Amino acid sequence: MFLDVTKETKMNVIEKTIDLGDGRIITIETGKLAKQADGSVTVRMGSTVLLATVCAAKDAVPGTDFMPLQVDYKEKFAAFGRFPGGFTRREGKASDYEVLTSRLVDRVLRPLFPDDYHAEVFVNIILFSADGEDMPDALAGLAASAALAVSDIPFGGPISEVRVARVDGQFIINPTFTQLEKADIDIMVGATYDNIMMVEGEMSEVQESEMLEAIKVAHEAIKKHCLVQKELEAACGKTVKREYCHEENDEDLRKKVHDDLYAKAYAISVSGQGKQERAEAFEKIVEEFKAQYTEEELETKGALIDRYYHDVEKEAMRRAILDEGKRLDGRKTTDIRSIWIETDCLAGPHGAAIFTRGETQSLTTVTLGTKNDEKIVDDVLNQGRDRFLLHYNFPPFSTGEARPQRGVGRREVGHGNLAHRALKRMIPNDYPYVVRVVSDILESNGSSSMATVCAGTLALRDAGVPLKKPVSGIAMGLISENKGTNYAILSDILGDEDHLGDMDFKVTGTKDGITATQMDIKVDGLSYEILEKALAQAKEGRMHILGKITDAQPEARAELKPHAPRIETLIIGKEFIGAVIGPGGKIIQGIQEKSGATISIEEVDNQGIVEVSATNKESIDAAMRAIKAIVAVPEVGEVYEGKISSIMPYGAFVEFMQGKDGLLHISEIDWKRLETVEETGLREGDSITVKLVDIDPKTGKFKLSRKVLMPKPEGYKEAERPARPPRQNNNGGRRDNGGRPHRENHRGGNQ
């Protein structure tokens, strides 16, 4: 229902549409909601609705020499008709999914703001409605860019982001959740009309050419999004952006810094020193330069000198690579740093490994758990359980910084997610354990996430996890000039090469193909030719590192470590689940207490899946026996070890299976004739071996025998029955029972 009040509220609603070509339409609308923001748009596709706003400070904070951009993506639980969890029942801190989506948008937007623009910019993207099928994260980049387009904030866009998936050999733009489940390629691509800016995703061991094809398909879709945003920008009259002045420059000082320090910086760039020594040498140069100025002069010139010297360092490093092919640590462009590996290095974890490449080091541990250790996912659109977890930690000491560690940040979430994607498809589908991988970065000088992938492979194999194939990863860099006409692709980049370079391109995979990728481009004009060469060079590097991994650890550990939990799985009928659990969990708790094992049950496809875990086989066997006894179906002819539950004049009742009693008639106790059960010496509570000889088809009662398990005495003869007297003719009348009382039915059964 819509009541038109545009005249009263003076709304100027502008709307543009994008046709995806498969019946779906994306609508971008501005002028209706959040009009006090610098830019605001509503992006709608079907029932999925996103609101994106952008606000920028009027001026920069004094002393700021970077781009203070903050991107926040938030999903409202009401968007999908759900209540948030927790005591307060309101949205709390950002979930990992929201953090990852925020990072996807941030990485495309950040490089496109002017280098000299330092005002604080806040981009907020809110999911207000969803249908559970369309994936809103694929629309977040488009929404953020459109909000910037309808504002006066300086920005080098527009951009857009799309997810491209390959399902049954066909590429799909912005697939649904259902379609994505069957995809062997799942990547998110961010780009301007002219250039690819960001790629992130996972794959099922695809070839480099297939990945490149997916990127091209995504870019063609993005071009349409960019053209529509240009139309929207013109319609809103926002083609001219605000003026700003966030940098005061001293060109004479800039020239002096360059002239005096470039040669010195260049000499250090080609010296091949280690990270710490090189950093100290670079710092010494600028400190010596500053010494010629007084403290009063440095109050105004110090920050400028630091900024200009940073540009000198960047130029020196880039020229050394482009002109001489010399990198900061002395390597050639294709060289991989030295690698050393240690596995089985810690006694406590179920698996552990140290992977060191140059000055980057990861100590990674693996813990094996049971179903009770699964991670519960309760996001707005994603609910379920994760059985494979990977956590990445980046403590300050890894880079020699003296500062406190303040918990898990966006960087840790993003790097951990990349490594998780790289490894998760290599875990066997039917692996019974919940697996947690934790990578602690002990040293960092470039591509610590890729060290996590390599160390993760080693630690998983050390834990005895039968990975389908080992995985390695490498980070590629790029130094380019003149729109990519002159460039150098760098294998296994350093931290400084990432910071001062034009590309950070991470690729992971097995010997048979790529499993995950993450690419950030910081320069315009990156051609598909360069991407293709970078992928080919990355493959060579991956294979080299993979060789080091397999040399150090040819196979996964054949047996779990002694203290690792053992898990056995039992499938039972759906109807037995309640019997195993018992009223209020009494039965299953009793089995766990007696055996020392941990038991979990869930219903899957109308079957009960029982997992029994313990650190020793005796506990598992005891629990399995108890469960099998509950769910077992008695079979005629089988021999059972039972316990006498009660003694009767005509025999004994024996519990031969848990919850199942049968009658051991006095005539079936022994071959000799017995007058009373007491003659045998049997007592209530005694253990006894019996054979199930019959099940009454009508009543389901069980008939047991012990004598059939005993040797028949020599010369034994069955007692002869007395001859039956001739039947009297009562002219059709019924036979009198002669006053004999009716015989009670005491045949075996569940008494």
Angle formed at CA 315 by CA 314 and CA 318, multiple of 5 degrees: 85
Question: How far is residue 556's CA from residue 561's CA, in Å, rounded to a whole number?
Answer: 12
Question: How far is residue 625's CA from residue 595's CA, in Å, rounded to a whole number?
Answer: 10
Angle formed at CA 104 by CA 101 and CA 105, multiple of 5 degrees: 95
Q: Name the CATH superfamily, with its identifier, for domain 14-236.
A: GHMP Kinase, N-terminal domain (3.30.230.70)
19: which residues sit within 8 A by CB, 6+ positions away?
A: 25
Question: How far is residue 531's CA from residue 198's CA, in Å, rounded to a whole number?
Answer: 12
The two tokens of residue 331 are 């390597």
Walk along the chain (751 residues) in steps of 10 and give the mean pLDDT of each run: 56 92 94 95 96 96 90 96 90 93 96 93 97 94 97 94 96 95 95 94 95 96 97 94 89 94 93 89 93 90 92 93 91 95 94 96 96 89 92 94 88 96 94 95 94 97 96 95 84 92 94 96 83 94 96 93 90 87 89 91 88 89 88 82 88 83 88 83 87 86 89 70 56 47 44 40
Please check if 670 is assigned to a binding site.
Answer: no
Helix, strand or coil, per DSSP, at residue 492 = coil
Question: How far is residue 354's CA from residue 344's CA, in Å, rounded to a whole number?
Answer: 9
Question: How far is residue 98's CA from residue 410's CA, in Å, rounded to a whole number?
Answer: 10
pLDDT of 4 reads 60
The two tokens of residue 541 are 């590097």
Burial class from Cβ neighbours inside 10 Å (0-12, 13-18, 19+) for residue 73 reads: buried
Let me know: does 483 contact 523? Beta carbons within 8 Å: no
Q: 251-324, which class in CATH? A: mainly alpha
Residue 255, amino acid: K
List the 607-614 sheet strands across, edge first: 566-573, 607-614, 598-604
Largest CA distance in the chain: 142
pLDDT of 407 reads 82
Question: How far is residue 41's CA from residue 125's CA, in Å, rounded to a whole number?
Answer: 10
The two tokens of residue 274 are 């280690």
Nearest to 226 by CA among 138, 141, 115, 153: 141
Let me know: does 96 contact 417? Beta carbons within 8 Å: yes
Domain boundaries, the chain: 14-236, 251-324, 339-401+408-552, 566-631, 638-709
Q: How far is CA 399 from the centre of its chain?
A: 27
Domain topology for 566-631: Ribosomal Protein S8; Chain: A, domain 1 (3.30.1370)
Q: Which residues pair with 19 in a beta bridge?
A: 25
The answer to whether the predicted template modeling score (pTM) of the entire model surpasses 0.85 is: no
Question: How far is residue 107's CA from residue 123's CA, in Å, rounded to a whole number?
Answer: 13
> Matching CATH topology for 14-236 and 339-401+408-552?
yes
The two tokens of residue 79 are 């968007």
Question: How far is residue 438's CA from residue 390's CA, in Å, rounded to a whole number?
Answer: 6
pLDDT of 727 reads 57
Nearest-Å Rg of the Cα atoms of the chain is: 37
Q: Which residues pair with 599 in a beta bridge?
A: 612
pLDDT of 535 reads 95
Let me know: does 571 contact 627? Beta carbons within 8 Å: no
Question: Right CATH number for 638-709 from 2.40.50.140, 2.60.40.3880, 2.160.10.10, 3.40.50.2000?
Answer: 2.40.50.140
Strand extents, DSSP E, 482-626: 486-491, 503-510, 513-521, 566-573, 598-604, 607-614
- What's the distance, Cα to Cα, between the start and end of the chain in Å? 68
Helix, strand or coil, per DSSP, at residue 253 = helix
The two tokens of residue 662 are 């049968």
What is the per-residue DSSP string for 607-640?
EEEEEEEESSHHHHHHHHHHHHHHHPPP-TT-EE
The two tokens of residue 742 are 């009716």
Question: How far is residue 582's CA from residue 590's CA, in Å, rounded to a whole number?
Answer: 10
Element (H or E) spanning 292, and its range? none
Question: How far is residue 404's CA from residue 262's CA, in Å, rounded to a whole number?
Answer: 35
Range 339-401+408-552 has CATH code 3.30.230.70: yes
Q: What is the DSSP letter of 380?
A: S
Residue 183, amino acid: A
Strand extents, DSSP E, 350-400: 351-357, 360-369, 375-378, 383-386, 388-393
pLDDT of 525 reads 66
Helix, strand or coil, per DSSP, at residue 549 = helix
Total Cβ atoms within 10 A of residue 211: 23
Question: How far is residue 10's CA from residue 598's CA, in Å, rounded to a whole number?
Answer: 66
List the 513-521 sheet strands across, edge first: 170-173, 160-167, 185-191, 196-206, 513-521, 503-510, 472-481, 486-491
Q: Is 24 left (phi over 0), alpha (psi -120 to 50) or beta?
A: beta
Please check if 498 is assigned to a binding site.
Answer: yes
Q: What is the DSSP letter of 143?
A: H
